[in-house]
């Protein structure tokens, strides 16, 4: 058992300190998963009214970094908010490991280093804005910005995940310009859905705390706008599927687009169910998780529409005892 643990630790160390393209890609995938997870846990904070479970920042309470007994804040709310804060440190650690691995990769690839460097820097920015959220007592604008930083960070995470598995040749388009523009419009529409979703949440009942401020919009109006944008993404996805079929696009691109369409249909059903059931908390969290999966999927579609060639050859590892050379 001890040997197995030691072997696991050694492999984990080598994945960072002596990385290969495969190990860097695995670390990048873990970062993608971590950032999608923090979107879901952030949603749990909101729907359980735990946004002020830790009323101070960076400490949880005025005199403690961790939750302590407080007559004003239920223990469960403190635990949920503190757990979300701790997950931020996990995501930060993953970002740092990804950055070190990108630096150590041989041969070093400059764009991978830049994509990796954006991850810990973005998490630090996320933590700072999280502090502003607490200090402004969950103002809906700061809460919206806090959420939207996660999809922005996922752009770098997904790009690194993809780029670590391909070469550095100039991009070669696998689809025509019109199809690519349609995919770009789909990315923009999906991003607009995420922004509109933060407005809906900031206007509705799940604003993070029973007494926190809400946007002054009519909830029916913002819900309709959100729904209209969601249906726009579905329409663009259907149009993209048709365009890919007509152009006989690579199977991988069509498969990813079909997967996105299935996610959209599931998300649509989920959205209407939660609307007619009065927005129950568990469905809101699930809705946010699926939204993050849709965002990852649409980014993957766009990135799969070009080819960057095979991976560069790895630099040979120096041997400790080189064989003697013949005279």
pLDDT digits (tens, 9 = 90+) for 121-141: 988 888 888 888 888 877 888
* 324 against 308, higher pLDDT: 308
The predicted pLDDT at position 316 comes to: 59
The predicted pLDDT at position 96 comes to: 94
Mean pLDDT lowest for which of 45-59, 85-99, 106-120, 141-155? Answer: 45-59
The full 3-state SS of the chain, as one line of letters, equals: CHHHHHHHHHHHHHHHHCCCHHHHHHHHHHHHHHHHHHHHHHHHHHHCCCCCCCCCCCCCECCECCCCCCCCCCHHHHHHHHHHHHHHHHHHHHHHHHHHHHHHCCCCCHHHHHHHHHHHHHHHHHHHHHHHHHHCCCCHHHHHHHHHHHHHHHHHHHHHHHHCCCCCCCCEECCCHHHHHHHHHHHHHHHHHHHHHHHHHHHCCCCCCCCCCCCCCCHHHHHHHHHHHHHHHHHHHHHHHHHHHHCCCCHHHHHHHHHHHHHHHHHHHHHHHHHHCCCCHHHHHHHHHHHHHHHHHHHHHHHCCEECCCCCCCCCCCCCCCCCCCC
- Residue 323 pLDDT > 70: no
Per-residue confidence band for 319, with pLDDT thresholds at 50, 70 and 90: very low
Write the CA distances from 152 to 1, 7, 90, 147, 148, integer angstroms: 41, 36, 18, 9, 6
- Residue 58 pLDDT > 80: no
- Residue 314 pLDDT > 70: no
Mean pLDDT on 168-173: 93
Mean pLDDT on 222-250: 95
- Residue 267 pLDDT > 50: yes
The mean pLDDT of the chain is 87
* 116 against 81, higher pLDDT: 116
Cα angle at 101 between 322 and 35, to 5 degrees? 155
pLDDT digits (tens, 9 = 90+) for 30-49: 999 999 988 888 888 878 87
The predicted pLDDT at position 207 comes to: 64
Per-residue confidence band for 11, with pLDDT thresholds at 50, 70 and 90: confident
């Amino acid at each position: 058992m001890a040997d197995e643990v030691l072997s696991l630790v050694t492999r984990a160390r080598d994945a960072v300190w002596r990385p290969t393209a495969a190990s860097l890609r695995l670390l990048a995938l873990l970062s993608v998963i971590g950032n999608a997870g923090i979107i879901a846990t952030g949603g749990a904070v909101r729907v359980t009214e735990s946004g002020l479970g830790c009323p101070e920042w960076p400490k949880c309470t005025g005199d403690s970094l961790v939750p302590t007994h407080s007559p004003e804040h239920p223990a469960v709310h403190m635990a949920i908010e503190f757990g979300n804060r701790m997950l931020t440190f996990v995501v930060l650690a993953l970002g740092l490991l990804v950055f070190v691995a990108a630096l150590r990769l041989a041969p070093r690839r400059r764009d991978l280093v830049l994509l990796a460097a954006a991850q810990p820097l973005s998490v630090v920015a996320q933590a700072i804005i999280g502090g502003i959220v607490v200090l402004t007592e969950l103002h809906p604008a700061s809460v919206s910005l806090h959420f939207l930083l996660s999809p922005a960070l996922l752009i770098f995470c997904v790009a690194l995940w993809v780029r670590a598995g391909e070469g550095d040749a100039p991009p070669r388009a696998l689809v025509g310009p019109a199809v690519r523009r349609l995919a770009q419009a789909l990315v923009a529409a999906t991003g607009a859905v995420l922004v509109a979703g933060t407005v809906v949440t900031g206007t509705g009942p799940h604003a993070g705390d029973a007494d926190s401020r809400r946007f002054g919009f009519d909830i029916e109006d913002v819900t309709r706008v959100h729904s209209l944008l969601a249906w726009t993404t579905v329409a663009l996805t259907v149009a993209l599927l048709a365009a890919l079929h007509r152009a006989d696009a690579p199977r991988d691109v069509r498969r990813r687009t079909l997967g996105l369409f299935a996610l959209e249909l599931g998300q649509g059903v989920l959205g209407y169910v939660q609307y007619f059931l009065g927005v129950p908390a568990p469905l809101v969290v699930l809705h946010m998780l699926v939204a993050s999966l849709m965002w990852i999927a649409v980014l993957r579609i766009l990135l799969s529409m070009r080819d960057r060639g095979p991976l560069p050859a790895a630099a040979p590892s120096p041997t400790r005892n080189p064989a003697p050379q013949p005279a």
